[in-house]
Every structure is written in C-alpha cells, then in structure tokens.
Structure 1
C-alpha cells in the first residue's frame, strides 16, 4: 500500500537540521497556501518531551477530579468555538463544513466520557486474594505512564487523535502531539485552545514536521506512542520505538466489509453502503470498501446502491457532499484499483476510469470483482465500493474474514445480525448500522491483523495509557511458605489442601 492517513513516513535516521525550517499547509481544493509551520528538529522535540515530563507531576497531582474539571473547561471552550475549529479542519482537508462539525461533536462526546469515567475505571479496586493467600489484601490500580506521544492522521484530524489525546490526558499523562503534515493547523488549534482553557501550556504540546519529526518523537523518551496510519508506516514506527523498547498502539488501515443477508432492509443497507463508502471522499479507515450480498437480493441491493450513488456529488462548494482527495498521491492508488478491477472483468455500475479527475473522484460502484483484485484486497481510501454476490451468509463471512485487515465491519440482517457479527475477525461491528461503534465512547476501537493492535476509546482506551499496578498487603500473620524458616510439614499440608480444592473434576 502506498498511502493512507499517515502522520509521516518514519526515516531510518534523524539528524538536527541546524536551523529552523518551515513547511506549508495547503488547501487541497485549490493548492493555496494556508499557513507555514516549523519543522521541529530532534533537539526541539526532546525539549518538548522534557517539558511534558516536568509538567506531568502537576497534572498527575490534580487527581481524577481535578483533571476532569480542567478537561471540562477545555470541552466547553471547544464547544463554544466549534465552528472556528470546523473551519480549520475544512480548509486543511477540503471536507464540507458539516462533516468537519460532526467530527468535532464526536470528539467532544469522547472527551466528556474519558474525563468523567477515568476515576471509576482507573482508581484502586480490590481483587480476590484466593484461599491460599487469604491473609493478604489484593488491590489493583492504574497509574499513568508519564508522557504519551501521539502521531495523528489527516483524514479525521480532530476525532481520531482525540481518541488517544483525551484518554491519555484523563488517565493522568501529559501529551506531545505530532499531527499530520497535511493538517498542522488543526493540531495547533487544539493545543492552543487547551492552554487557554487549562492555563498550562506544557501538559499538551505540539510538534510539527514530516518524517524526521515523527521519528524524533519516537526516540525522544516518551513512555508510549499512539500512531494512526498505514500498516507499512506502522511497522517503521514500531521499529523506531523498538530501539528504546517504547510501547506502541497502532491503528492502521482497513478493508472493511458490509454483509447483507436475505432478510435485510435493503433500502437501509443501500443507504449505509453509499454513505459508508463515500463520505469524506472514502477517506475513512472504517469506511465500507467491500459489500457481500446474498444472491437472492443481490440485484435489488445493487440497483438501490447505484441509484443513490449516482446522486452523490463531490466538490468544493458548500453544498457538495464530499470534498477532494486530500493526499494527491492517493489518486494513483484509486485509479490503479479501478483499472485492475475493470481489466479483469468487473462491471462499473456507477462511474469508472473517468471518475478520477484530480483533485476529486466521482462515486464508483464496481460489481462482480475478482476476489484477488487489488480493489478487493488493498485499502482504497477513495469513494469507491465493490459489491460482490455470495451464495449465502456463510460465504459472506468467509470472504470478509479472508482479508489481511481486520478493523471494522457492518452486518445488515433482521434475524441473525448479532450471530453473524460474532463470527467476523475484526475489532468492531455495527449491526443494521454503519460505523456506529465509533460514535459510542464506551466501546473500544481498534483492529487485528494488518489493522493494528491496542485500543482507544472506552475502558480499554483509558487503560491503554496506564500501567497496571498490583499490590498485595498482609492483613494478619499465618504460616508463611515464602521463607526458609517454614516448618517441614507446611508444604505437605499445602499440597493436600490444593488437591482437595482443585484436584477433583468439575
């Protein structure tokens, strides 16, 4: 795969530039320069991490309630100025204002959930000591890691990184954020608004640049790196972090499938296929890229999908339904997959080769695409969708699971939706909905296989940025086997007790 939402390609080495350099943020609709940002050097990144390390004590000492109060102030500021944030997102990504607003709204919901649930999820809890250690009290708590580095994507430059930023901050960490070089202005806005609301500018800091800066953050002594981007770049991030045994959370690409059973509401499913595959110009890691529909309703579904897709229009106007392909190099990937599918016998039900007209791509619906075509096997990240028919839902599950990716999926079925969902090798499934799981803060978000590992959002997302601390505390004296002074009969009695407790069947 040549490109997706990468924060940047991480090079093999990183050297100081000697003097401050800058790069431009561009409006992808026109190529117009929006603003210039510094390419932070490794030395500058290290200094930011050092500042974050010093600020961590103050942030941790606030406690859960103190941090919740500070994060609430930030949330309220973002809410008051959400149109201002949406305008920055729209300029740097090209997406319509309403799409940018939705992204901010979802981020606010997650920020609220993380801040209000952190104490319950991460505070000390009792654990069972067991009969053999009955004289001990057992507890578990989840201290913050320290400093978390976040490498963010450009396709959802607020919502996606906030899935790491908000949860890491709520857990008690400080954060150094490197947004994609395509959306540095969004990162700047988030960091500036946090400092304004919280009154402290070292808890959440920004570094900007391309691959050199990303590599520097991995090497700067952070306690964990959270990365969103392509599988190929995730491997480079992991290799860089391995130099210092820095743990990583990686959310990579997807080739998400939508399965349609014979009893599905076909109009509902068709609407989900079109929006799930084409919103944000298809530049969504959990967007719909493959559809498997049972033979009995395949033509009916395809007609409904085609009718809806033919009415969707991209562009830079306020009433456009999606914007441009933000990363120009992705146009070649999209063109190549369409060409491969059509050359190998697929049908273009809507659009085709002519749909790619930089910087926009019109909707493309392909049918009867060979399963080994790149349009089926590789992430597209464009407003295209493959609709293939299957004998039954069992074949649909088999084909959906054949992908090396395993991020999200959707199932449309009235009778067996939940049953089908449980059989899918992915991290998240929406039944009779599409991408709904991303809008539920309590649900973990992440994948398997080439889609990565680790989780943001929910209980798992909070604990992702902590370390479990187990504590045993003796409550009263008893016979101690963990000493050279133990009586000779102790082990014999202990062995008999274990046999009584655990040696029987059932």
Structure 2
C-alpha cells in the first residue's frame, strides 16, 4: 500500500560551514508562482509607463539603498554560502556597479532613434526602438547569489520589465533581502518579486505561459531541463552555464603575476566559479619556474569560516563527490599531485589541489570540477595552448599572460569563448559595459552591457511615409516603364565591380 506524502511548505537555508539553520523560507508552489507572475504583469504595465527618466531615478535609488545595506547583504551571502565576508562584500560591490550602469545607459541603448532608410526609400522616416518584454523570470545560482542574478535583474528592470526571481535553494535569503530593498524604494507595484523553493518552483516559473523570457544561470544539464520547460510556450531563454576555463602562460609572461592570478582564479570561492581557472597551459621554457611559484603560493592557503581563511566551504554538498572523483581519476591515469591530493577533501572543506601530468581526456581536464583544484600542463608554445584550450565543448572565458601584446590579443581572439582577459583574471566581469556569456556547453545569450539590455527587450521598427514617390512599385498599377527605371537605378547603385 502506498502512503501519500505531503509536499513541504517550507525549507531551511543552511550555513554550509556549520550546518546551522540560517532561516526558514516558504516553498512556493505552482499556484503561488502563477499569482506572482500575474502581479508582475500588472507591475510591468505601470513600470513601463513611468518612462526612461523615472525608472532611471528609481533604479539609482535602489542602487543607493543596496549600497547602504552592503554589509547586511554581504553578511547574508557569507552565512548562506560560507564564502569569506570580504569576498561577499566585493561581490555586492560588483552588483552595485552593474545596476548603476544599466540604470544610466538603458535609454541610450534602447531608446528611440532614427535610422537612414537608404536611397530606395528616401520618402520614409524610419525609427527603431527596443520595447520591454513584460515579465522576465530569473533563475539564479548560489555561488554568486547577488552579482550573477543582478546581471539579469538589473538589466531587465532598466529595460522596463518586471521580474520574478527564483534564487537558489541554497541562498534564498539573498534574494529575499534584495526584493525587500527594491520594494522599499519602489513601493507602488512589485516590480521585483521573489519566489523561494526547490526545483519544482523554478520549473513552475520556466513553464509559465505568462513569462516573456527566462534568464537562467546554472549547470548545462539543468539548463536543458529549463529549456524543455520553456519550449512548451516558446518562451525565449538566455542561459549562462558552466565552464572549463584556462589560464595561458606565455614564455615572456610576468610569472609572479600569472601565478597569483591563476591561483585566485582557481581557488577563490573554493573554486566554485563558472569563469574560474581549472586548466593552466604553460609554455615549456617557463613551465618549471611558473609551477614553483604557483605551488609556493597555494601551500599558504587555508579554507575555513573564520576571517583569516582564504576561502570557504563547498556550498553544495554533492559537489564534493565530483571533486573527489576528478582527483582520483587524474591520479589513477598517471597524474601527480604537487599540492594536496585525495586527503585534501575534508568535508565541508577542500584544501588546495594542484595536479600535473594529467591526460587531456581525463575528467579533471574535460569536465567542470567546480572546486579548488587546478591542472597544470606543459605546452610547446602559445599556439598549442590555444589549440588545447579549444578542445572542449565549453566556451565561457579564460585569461592569457604574455609580455607580447600583439601575440596575446591574437591568441585571445582565437579562443572559442565569450570573454578573454589579458594579464588579469576576469577583468571583463568588472566592466559593466562589456557583455558576459559563453558558447557551446557554456550557454548562449548575453548579460551585462548593451547586449545585456537588448537581451530583455524586443526590437520594434516603425516607418512613416513622408511624401509619395512618383511611382509605386508595390501596386498592381505598376507599369513596365516604371519597373525599367527602377532596374536601371539599381544597376547604377549596386552593379559596379569593386577593386581589391
């Protein structure tokens, strides 16, 4: 006999470092999500009607309130993710700068402008504008629970939409606090609502027929499930998924700076960063010197929940199994652990692990590890490094350290990814004007920058005839003589040969 079980009505958010309950949050079911979306639909009409200037002022005031609540937000992030407080503060600062840019630039990017019609349509006045979609559903991650979703929330609001935000079940308090801050500044209508819960809550948001677009951040397999839910209603989606990002170290690179950046990119946030460094390709002539610097720096790092810790715990417990599997597979296949090893996994923490001589087809090289581990590989030159960088289905980001600007830029352009930084780690993430997103298994679409604003708007073209032309080609009364004159004109304008 089967026994019916009731679905939970609430769930706890836990401190991953201590296991203590941070807070209890409601599980919003499909009906609750539908009601939130309906409220957002009404809010979207009001928000759009305010116009560019009024929305700009209100969003800048939201930014100001978030700034004044920076330490409160950072403490919530610290408690729910376990990351160091200063890292949580830095993440919040990045979110603030992106909200500021979106608010200040939305009208310039999306506002109405006149477009030259071309000689064949000189009698037409042509206008282009980008109109709000309506309701945007945002499904956010736990690793950067304010910065990453702000790349969708802030830009969607600036574009004139209302937002329903489903934060990760590991970091619901961050989303609730953000909604409280927005609601205090914009009390008239709920332009940002938060629905909390587990996977079913996110599925209800993605499958809602009244959501105009979904912005998703998470793993590739989960993205495919979200896309399947969106497909029921042909709801468009922007997906920012994982990566297997690299650091390339050229023969003339500043090795101290490269080692410092690679270590931060690999170990910060316990390696739980979609654009984190998981592979390093070092030109042969400086391989040993670089590895020596990297290992010396790594050996000084210590995870923990105290203020002196370099990074925190693994936030999602099941990720530890993947980290352990990748380390074991690398060692079984001939790799060497020059820092750490299997014993570095001490739940809920993982100490730094640096692996060398790892085969290119091993799990530690091909699959996203999402932990404080890094593989270091010797290559002939920067060309081989680029070739091996691109030998993966992922294509999110990466970095190159080189003393040759021309060679570095050329290599950066050849890397199959959405972003590459030269002589710095992830500098693009700090520049609000630049788009952020990947290719292949790393997702599609863009957040941040002008592309991120356009991601949450639809292009609208309007033409208005200013005067009638002496002949009408789109009429059944068109004559052969008129068509002949047009053909002569087209041949004169477009038929000439161009010299190379």
- Which category of TM-score, normalised to the shorter sequence, fits these structures? over 0.9
The within-5 A match list for 1:56-455 is 56-220=44-208, 221-415=210-404, 416-455=407-446
Cα distance in 2, alignment partners of residues 81 and 319 from structure 1: 24
Q: Does the 8 Å contact 1:350/1:365 carry over to 2?
A: yes
CA deviation profile, 1:200-236 (whole Å, cap 9, x unmatched): 3511001011111111101222000000000001011
TM-score for both structures, normalised by structure 2: 0.97
| Residue in structure 1 matched with residue 493 of structure 2 by the alignment | 501
SS of match in other structure, 1:45: helix
Cα distance in 2, alignment partners of residues 229 and 200 from structure 1: 32
Cα distance in 2, alignment partners of residues 417 and 139 from structure 1: 41
SS of match in other structure, 1:142: strand
Aligned length: 490
TM-score for both structures, normalised by structure 1: 0.96
Offset of residue 242 of structure 1: 0.3
Q: Does the 8 Å contact 2:152/2:215 carry over to 1?
A: yes
Offset of residue 411 of structure 1: 0.5
Q: Which moved more, 1:357-366 or 1:120-129?
A: 120-129
CA deviation profile, 1:296-345 (whole Å, cap 9, x unmatched): 10010000000001101100111111000000000000000001001111
The within-5 A match list for 1:41-56 is 41-56=29-44
SS of match in other structure, 1:321: coil
Cα distance in 2, alignment partners of residues 68 and 321 from structure 1: 38
Relative to structure 1, the CA distance from residue 293 to residue 494 in structure 2 (aligned partners, 3 Å threshold; closer, same or farther) is: same
SS of match in other structure, 2:214: strand
Offset of residue 350 of structure 1: 0.5
Cα distance in 2, alignment partners of residues 429 and 245 from structure 1: 32
Cα distance in 1, alignment partners of residues 168 and 236 from structure 2: 21
Cα distance in 1, alignment partners of residues 266 and 342 from structure 2: 17
Q: Which moved more, 1:192-201 or 1:464-473?
A: 192-201
Q: Which of the residues 455, 459, 475 maps onto 2:450?
A: 459
Q: Verify: 1:485 aligned to 2:474, yes or no.
A: no
Offset of residue 500 of structure 1: 1.6
Structure 2 unpaired stretches of 5+: none
SS of match in other structure, 2:102: helix
Structure 1 unpaired stretches of 5+: 1-16
Q: Does the 8 Å contact 1:73/1:198 carry over to 2?
A: no
Q: Which of the residues 18, 21, 27 maps onto 1:33?
A: 21
| Residue in structure 2 matched with residue 10 of structure 1 by the alignment | none
Q: Which moved more, 1:261-270 or 1:471-480?
A: 471-480
| Residue in structure 2 matched with residue 7 of structure 1 by the alignment | none
SS of match in other structure, 1:217: helix
Cα distance in 1, alignment partners of residues 6 and 216 from structure 2: 27
CA deviation profile, 1:401-426 (whole Å, cap 9, x unmatched): 11100000100011122111111100
RMSD (Å), alpha carbons? 1.1
CA deviation profile, 1:43-91 (whole Å, cap 9, x unmatched): 1101100000011111011111101111111111111111011010000
Q: Which moved more, 1:250-259 or 1:124-133?
A: 124-133
Offset of residue 505 of structure 1: 1.4
SS of match in other structure, 1:268: helix
| Residue in structure 2 matched with residue 13 of structure 1 by the alignment | none
SS of match in other structure, 2:125: strand
Q: Does the 8 Å contact 2:396/2:438 carry over to 1?
A: yes
Offset of residue 121 of structure 1: 0.4
Cα distance in 2, alignment partners of residues 87 and 290 from structure 1: 31
Cα distance in 1, alignment partners of residues 442 and 232 from structure 2: 23
Q: Does the 8 Å contact 2:70/2:89 carry over to 1?
A: yes
CA deviation profile, 1:257-282 (whole Å, cap 9, x unmatched): 11111011010000011001000000
Offset of residue 488 of structure 1: 2.6
